[in-house]
Amino acid sequence: MEATSISGLEAMATSLPLVGTRVGGIPDLIEEGKNGFLCNPADDEDLAEKIDTLLAADLKAFGAHSRQMVEDNFAWPKIARRTLAAYETVV
């Protein structure tokens, strides 16, 4: 994904939940209410609300879902298989 947040993926790989904006590839990373929350761009009140909501949540569970999403979708062996499959379709 071209507009995916590498720093977001790195944080999620260390079992951290995210609060991010609904732009680029970030919505593809965050499953609302499971591993983080999405807020509207340039809406500081929405951002503050989502941070408060996350801080009141079970951070361990959110973090575990973050880590699992990265392992399921971005582990190097899976990326390598997808890349190879893409190459094979054009060769």
Say what the pTM is. 0.83
Q: What ranges do the domains of the chain cover?
A: 6-90
Return phi, psi of residue 79, to 5°.
Answer: -65, -45
Per-residue pLDDT of the chain (91 residues; tens, 9 = 90+): 456 789 999 999 999 999 999 999 999 999 999 999 999 999 999 999 999 999 999 999 999 999 999 999 999 999 999 999 999 999 8
19-32 exposure pattern, b = at least 16 Cβ within 10 A, e = fewer: bbbeeeebeebbee
Tokens of 33: 């209410």
**What homologous superfamily does CATH list for 6-90?**
Glycogen Phosphorylase B; (3.40.50.2000)
